[in-house]
Structure formats: structure tokens, C-alpha cells
């Protein structure tokens, strides 16, 4: 249990380091886990993370989420002490730990590829940290068995990691972290190597675990579903920068910019290039020949912020588009994805793709198994939940 | 039925199979065959059928048994020194050090020199009156020692030269093992609170164990067969101080011309080495499968 503060953290991978990393046999020794596409490259090196400031409260569950190469794992590794911090300050429980080695930080970490000790049994894997601390054997035994009980791996305690399935290995990795009773629990994409079903199961187990071992969690994932379901707050990153910090509700309903709006939510938010127009002091957004009038709250905000008519990107989530019998915009169904409780319709409207989520209840008899290709439908856009993004991609409202 | 794929593979393999058959299998089979006769190069023909007589007399030959003892002493000492030193050097190369590639090239140079050249070079260096070694030693008061001609120092000197040459082989295998170790367990260990020494003891050593075994066994096999270095350096002498089994067998076959006897001795040596190589291949196979 501890607070974690990151103040203006920056990480630069020096240019020479990548050369040094080539081992004697031409094999890259420390392979970078993520590709670096749009990262800033300076004279000193590749900037993996910059201007990263975040206050994590005691017992908070923070999720760092973003696409590959956004710097989320690097940030976690800096918190763990596995990567050095180039600039900025990191405090754990109020103590500056920039130069403290991992073992002095009282953290535990679960790795993406489990990082179990292959030569040790499950029991020894879990007991290793406690043995190093010279804890009495009886207490080690009690803790290991307790953790194994929680994670339902008691029957595998004598096995080697090689003899376990991916899900079981991940439980062992989590167990190894639990027995330590760390101040901060770090998890680096712990579920990404598991199949979809197991992932869902483990996700709910992590939620249960969190209730049992009430401590600070920092969780890295590229999966926005994991981020939304697990996090008290979510930090969305891209190209080394924080894009938005907020509760799942906030980032979903009030995305700070176009990137966050597109990244959070499946299917992705629909975007339309259009204009914010003003006629007789009334703001509206034209789209496919119809006019979206803004609601009072939106108009109020536009007035307060002195927003001028301009080119915008209009964002509407698929669940805010519905089918209607009359009015609306005519569209043609391209693909109909039956999801069980709902249908995801990929329609084309004047050559642009619009995704619609139609709930099972609305489908009716004739469309019980979805829609056929080329079928004409009419779409209604809910103007109460529009997102307007300016030329700088930032949410105007 | 053989599938087309296998048939094609077989067609391409035939030339090498013929070559291997003619150069390895045939001589091996022939030597096994003549080990039951009394072939003597001084006379024509196979001579009398001896059954296991050559084998029995070889086992009763005190010089043969002595040479096996010398070989065991030589091999064990050489492998132990090479392993300990080689692992230390491999660990150094596994760290980030400047000019690593240059040092590495230097370390593996001896491996690329033929044993005969190594032997001749060291014989000159160790020459009792003209050698550089004794000249350098003279500065600290040691004068004119005949390293290779003295019963007390001959085997030690041969061991030293063999270590000098063969250590790079050990370094290479062990370094390859170190480089291919996964890095995640080390990160996990550092988070678990392990010091560098504890990481080495609890992670590196156990993970390297299969590599250790393979390196030691492979080197043991080659050390057991050492012949060329002995031939150039001492010819087994002084007396029989450095007479290893391969050299003794060579002498039986080409000095005393007792071909059948030498063949029987070779097969005894083979019997000693088969279990060792069997264990080595088993470990290698397990590791590749695991």
C-alpha cells in the first residue's frame, strides 16, 4: 500500500545503446518489446516517454493503455527500476526512488511472458523472494500455500513451469507477486499471451484479487476492454505522451482528443469530416444533408469558450446511431456482424463507413439473424452525444 | 511406402552417404574385422584368427593400461581447468565491456591454429636453452629448465599447452549458452530482491547446467582422443610420462606394425567413449526438445 508519484518523467534510449545491445553472435540481446514508429528522435536518442506526470493514490488501480510503442511498458519498467529514468522524479510512498534498485522499492511485478524460473518448481518460484529475505520456513510455507489456495494452483505446487498451461503459469506469476505483499503491484500485459476465454476469466480473477489484496496496482495493457473493466483510472498514452488520464467513464464519454475517442470503445467511434456552422447565432453541424442542432449544454459551452465556426471532425459512437423507419440518413449495409445480444452493422453512407450497434431487442423477427449485404436502412444520429474535434484534434466541448 | 518428399531427400543424400560409407563406415567395419585376426604389416594376409585374443592381451598390457591412466589424468585436469577458466572468461564476455569483439577474436585465435603448429610453436618457446620462456624466467632466477623433457613437468606442460589452445572452444560453447539465456528470469529475480551474486547462484548456474554438461562431455571426448599435440611435443615421453592412449595405439599400428592389436585397442577406447557421447547427445536432444 503506497502512493506513487511520477513527476515529469522522461526516458531516452541512447542511440549507442541499441548498438551495444547487439550480442557477440549478432543477436540482439535485449530486444525492445515495442516498435518505435512515431517516437521523437533527438541527438541523445529515442525519446520513449516524456512529460509523464501522474499521482497514483494509495490502493488505486491505474491502467496504462495505448498501442504498441506508446511507452506504457517503458513507464512501468521505470517504476519497477528495470529501466533507468532519464529525467524527472519518481516517488513511492513519498520516497524518491530514482536511484533505488528494484529490490529496494518493495514492488512486485507480473511479466507478460510470466518470467518464471524454469528450473524451479511452482512452490520454489513463489517462495524464492521470501527465501531471499530469510523468512522462516514455516512462514514461507504458510504464505505460499495461502497464495496457491487463492489462485487455485495448490495441486501444481510440485510441478515445473514447463508442465503448466499458459493460464496456470500466469497464476504462478501472480502468486509469486502476491506472497511478497508488496507496496505496489505492477503488471505488464499479464493477459496478452492467453486465449480470449482465459483472458476474460483471468480478468475477473484479477478484479477479485484486487478486492482481496488491497494494494496499489499499476497495470499495463494494449487492450482497452481490460483497461475499462479493471482501472479506477486509465492513462491513455501515445508516442510517449499521455493523451488523457481519467476514470473509464470519463475517457469513454469525454475523450480529450481524437486519438482517445478512437482508441477507447469497440467498435470504434464513427468520425465524419464536416464543419461547425453558425446561423443567426445558433450553432449546428451539417451532415449528409441533415442538420445536427446542438443541445443547450453544448451551445452554452461553445459560447463560454468563444468557439468560432470551423472545420471539425464529428465523432459519434456506434451505439448512438440507431435505425429508424423514416427520416434520418439512408445507408446500405456492407457487413452485418451477429454478436449474440446485438448486431454490429457496417453501413456505407455516401461512400463513407458508419458502424451501428443494433441491440437484439430492436431487431424484430425479420432481422433476427442480422441484415443481408446491400440492404437499405435508415440511420438516426443522436445529437445529444456528439463529439466535436477541432483542427488540432482536441475535443472542443 | 516412401513419400515423394522423402524419396527426393534420399536422392540428394546418396552422394554424401556413399562418401561417408567409403571413408568412415567401411574402414570402421574393416578395422573391427581385423581386430579378430593377427594382421602384421610385415607379413601378407590376415594372419591367424585370434577371436578376442587381441582384446584380452590389450587389457593385460600394462603400457596400454598405463596410457589409459595417463589419458584419464590428462583429460580430467584439462577439462576441469578449461571449464573453470573458460566459464570465467565467458562471463566476462557476457558483460558490457569496451573492445569486447577485439578481445573475443584474440581468445578464439588458438582454436583456429592446427595442433601441429601449436605444438611446434610451443616447443620452440619452451626450448631449454633457446626458448623465450626460459629467457623470461631467467629474470626471476629460474634457469634452463627442460619443461618437456623432465618427467616431473612434461605432463603439466602438455596440459598447459592444451588448455591454452582448447580453452577458446569452452569459452565459445559457454558464451553461446550464456547469451541465449532468457533475460526475464533475471528481471524477475532483481524484483524479487536477489543481489547479483544471488542471481548468478540461483538463476545463471541452474539455467546453465545443461550447457555445462554438454561442454564438459564434448570436451572430455576430444581430450580423450588427443594425439597430434603429444606427437609433436613429446612423442609420449620422457619415458611414458605423456603417453596418452591414442598415441600408444598409433605406436602399436605404425611403429610396431601390429595392426590387429591397434584395432582392438581402438575399439576398447571406443567402448569407453560411447557412454560419454550417449549422455551428451541425450542432453542435447532434451534441450532442443524442451
Helices (H), chain A: 15-20, 72-80, 122-132, 137-151, 166-178, 196-212, 224-230, 248-253, 258-263, 296-305, 360-363
**CB-CB neighbors (< 8 A) of A30 in chain B:** 183
Binding-site residues on chain B for chain A (CB distance < 8 A): 93, 96, 100-101, 104, 175-176, 179-180, 182-185, 187-195, 198, 202-203, 206-207, 209, 290
Residue B39 pLDDT class (50, 70, 90 cuts): confident
Q: Which helix (H) or strand (E) holds A221?
A: strand A216-221
Looking at chain A, which residue has its C-alpha nearest residue B201? A132
| Residue A111 near residue B186 (C-beta atoms within 8 A) | no
- B202 and A29 within 8 Å at the Cβ level: the answer is no
SS3 A188: strand
Domains of chain B listed by start with CATH number: 43-289 (1.10.3720.10)
Cell of B68: 589409459
Separation between Cα atoms, residue A244 and residue A52, nearest integer Å: 11
- Counting one residue from chain A and one from chain B, the pairs whose CB atoms sit within 8 A come to 77
- B179 and A25 within 8 Å at the Cβ level: the answer is yes
Q: Which helix (H) or strand (E) holds A157?
A: none
Residue B160 has pLDDT above 90, yes or no: yes
ipTM of the complex: 0.79
Cis peptide before B73 (omega within 30 of 0): no
Nearest CB neighbour to A113, from listed B176, B184, B209? B184
Average pLDDT over residues B114-142: 87
Separation between Cα atoms, residue A282 and residue A362, nearest integer Å: 34
Mutating which of A92, A128, A164, A186 best tests the B interface, going by the most B Cβ atoms within 10 A?
A128
Q: For residue A180, what pLDDT is reported?
A: 87
**CB-CB neighbors (< 8 A) of B180 in chain A:** 27
The number of C-alpha atoms within 13 Å of B125 and in the hemisphere containing its C-beta is 12
φ/ψ of A355, rounded to 5, equals -100, 135
Separation between Cα atoms, residue A360 and residue B6, nearest integer Å: 56
Looking at chain A, which residue has its C-alpha nearest residue B173? A25
Q: For residue B1, what pLDDT is reported?
A: 58
Separation between Cα atoms, residue B242 and residue B82, nearest integer Å: 19
How far CA B93 is from CA of A17, A25, B200, in Å, comes to: 17, 11, 15
Q: For residue A202, what pLDDT is reported?
A: 86
**CB-CB neighbors (< 8 A) of B91 in chain A:** none
More confident position, B207 or B42:
B207
pLDDT 10s per residue in chain A (397 long)? 688 989 888 888 887 644 444 445 544 444 444 444 577 787 778 888 888 999 999 999 999 999 988 899 999 999 999 999 999 999 999 999 999 999 888 899 999 888 899 889 999 999 999 999 899 999 999 999 988 988 888 999 999 998 898 888 988 999 999 898 888 999 999 888 888 888 888 888 888 888 888 889 999 999 888 899 999 999 999 998 999 999 999 999 999 999 999 999 888 999 999 988 888 888 888 888 888 888 888 888 888 888 888 899 999 999 998 888 888 888 999 998 888 888 899 999 888 899 999 887 777 777 777 788 888 889 888 878 888 898 888 888 7
| Residue A131 near residue A211 (C-beta atoms within 8 A) | no
Q: Which helix (H) or strand (E) holds A316?
A: strand A310-316
> In this predicted model, what pLDDT tens digit does every residue of A3-47 receive, in sequence order?
898 988 888 888 764 444 444 554 444 444 444 457 778 777 888
Residue B153 has pLDDT above 50, yes or no: yes
Nearest CB neighbour to A117, from listed B183, B203, B209? B203
Q: For residue A32, what pLDDT is reported?
A: 46
Average pLDDT over residues B89-114: 87
Q: Which of A207, A245, A193, A223 has the alpha carbon at shortest distance from A51?
A: A245
Separation between Cα atoms, residue A18 and residue A25, nearest integer Å: 15
Amino acid at each position: 500500500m503506497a502512493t506513487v508519484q511520477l513527476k515529469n518523467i522522461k526516458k531516452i534510449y541512447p542511440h549507442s545503446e541499441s548498438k551495444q545491445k547487439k550480442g557477440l553472435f549478432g543477436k540482439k540481446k535485449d530486444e525492445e518489446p515495442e516498435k518505435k514508429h512515431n517516437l521523437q528522435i533527438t541527438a541523445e536518442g529515442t525519446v520513449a516517454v516524456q512529460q509523464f506526470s501522474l499521482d497514483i493514490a494509495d490502493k488505486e488501480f491505474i491502467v496504462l493503455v495505448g498501442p504498441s510503442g506508446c511507452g506504457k511498458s517503458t513507464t512501468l519498467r521505470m517504476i519497477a527500476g528495470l529501466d533507468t529514468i532519464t529525467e524527472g522524479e519518481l516517488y513511492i510512498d513519498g520516497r524518491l526512488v530514482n536511484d533505488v534498485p528494484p529490490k529496494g522499492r518493495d514492488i512486485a511485478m507480473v511479466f507478460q511472458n510470466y518470467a518464471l524460473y524454469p528450473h524451479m518448481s511452482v512452490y520454489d518460484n513463489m517462495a524464492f523472494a521470501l527465501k531471499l529475505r530469510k523468512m522462516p520456513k514455516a512462514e514461507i510455507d504458510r504464505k505460499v500455500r495461502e497464495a496457491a489456495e487463492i489462485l487455485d494452483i495448490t495441486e501444481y505446487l510440485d510441478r515445473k513451469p514447463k508442465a503448466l498451461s499458459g493460464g496456470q503459469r500466469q497464476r504462478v506469476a501472480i502468486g509469486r507477486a502476491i506472497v511478497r505483499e508488496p507496496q505496489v503491484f505492477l503488471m505488464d500485459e499479464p493477459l496478452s499471451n492467453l486465449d480470449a476465454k482465459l483472458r476474460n476469466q483471468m480478468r475477473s480473477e484479477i478484479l477479485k484479487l484486487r478486492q482481496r489484496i488491497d494494494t496499489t496496482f499499476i497495470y499495463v495493457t494494449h487492450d482497452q476492454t481490460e483497461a475499462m473493466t479493471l482501472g479506477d483510472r486509465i492513462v491513455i498514452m501515445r508516442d510517449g505522451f499521455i493523451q488523457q488520464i481519467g476514470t473509464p467513464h470519463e475517457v469513454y464519454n469525454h475523450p480529450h482528443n481524437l486519438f482517445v475517442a478512437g482508441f477507447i470503445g469497440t467498435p470504434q467511434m464513427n468520425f465524419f469530416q464536416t464543419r461547425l456552422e453558425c446561423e443567426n447565432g445558433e450553432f449546428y453541424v451539417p451532415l449528409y444533408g441533415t442538420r445536427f442542432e446542438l443541445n443547450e449544454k453544448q451551445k452554452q459551452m461553445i459560447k463560454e469558450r468563444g468557439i468560432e465556426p470551423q472545420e471539425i471532425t464529428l465523432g459519434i459512437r456506434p451505439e448512438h446511431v440507431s435505425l429508424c423507419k423514416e427520416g434520418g440518413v439512408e445507408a446500405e449495409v456492407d457487413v452485418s456482424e451477429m454478436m449474440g445480444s446485438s448486431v454490429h452493422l457496417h453501413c456505407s453512407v455516401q461512400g463513407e463507413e458508419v458502424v451501428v450497434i443494433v441491440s437484439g431487442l430492436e431487431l424484430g423477427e425479420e432481422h433476427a439473424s442480422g441484415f443481408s449485404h446491400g440492404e437499405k436502412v435508415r440511420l438516426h444520429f443522436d445529437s445529444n452525444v456528439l463529439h466535436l474535434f477541432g483542427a488540432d484534434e482536441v475535443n472542443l466541448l | 511406402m516412401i513419400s515423394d518428399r522423402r524419396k527426393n531427400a534420399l536422392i540428394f543424400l546418396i552422394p554424401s552417404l556413399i562418401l561417408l560409407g567409403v571413408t568412415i563406415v567401411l574402414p570402421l567395419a574393416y578395422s573391427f574385422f581385423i581386430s579378430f585376426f593377427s594382421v602384421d604389416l610385415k607379413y601378407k594376409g590376415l594372419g591367424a584368427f585370434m577371436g578376442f585374443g587381441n582384446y584380452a592381451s590389450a587389457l593385460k598390457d600394462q603400457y596400454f593400461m598405463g596410457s589409459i591412466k595417463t589419458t584419464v589424468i590428462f583429460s580430467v585436469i584439462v577439462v576441469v581447468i578449461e571449464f573453470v577458466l573458460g566459464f570465467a572468461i565467458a562471463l566476462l564476455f557476457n558483460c558490457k565491456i569496451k573492445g569486447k569483439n577485439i578481445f573475443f577474436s584474440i581468445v578464439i585465435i588458438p582454436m583456429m591454429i592446427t595442433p601441429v603448429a601449436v605444438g611446434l610453436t610451443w616447443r620452440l618457446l619452451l626450448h631449454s636453452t633457446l626458448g623465450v620462456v626460459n629467457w623470461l624466467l631467467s629474470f626471476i632466477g629460474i634457469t634452463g629448465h627442460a619443461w618437456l623433457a623432465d618427467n616431473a613437468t612434461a605432463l603439466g606442460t602438455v596440459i598447459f599447452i592444451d588448455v591454452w589452445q582448447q580453452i577458446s572452444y569452452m569459452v565459445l560453447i559457454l558464451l553461446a549458452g550464456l547469451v541465449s539465456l532468457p533475460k526475464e528470469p533475471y528481471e524477475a529475480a532483481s524484483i524479487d530482491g536477489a543481489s547479483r551474486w544471488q542471481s548468478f547462484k540461483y538463476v545463471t548456474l541452474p539455467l546453465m547446467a545443461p550447457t555445462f554438461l554438454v561442454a564438459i562431455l564434448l570436451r572430455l571426448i576430444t581430450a580423450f582422443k588427443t594425439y597430434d599435440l603429444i606427437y609433436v611435443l613429446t612423442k609420449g615421453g620422457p619415458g611414458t610420462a605423456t603417453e596418452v592412449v591414442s598415441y600408444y595405439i598409433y605406436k602399436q599400428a605404425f611403429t610396431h606394425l601390429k595392426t590387429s592389436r591397434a584395432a582392438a585397442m581402438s575399439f576398447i577406447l571406443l567402448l569407453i567413449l560411447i557412454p560419454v557421447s550417449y549422455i551428451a547427445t541425450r542432453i542435447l536432444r532434451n534441450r532442443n526438445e524442451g
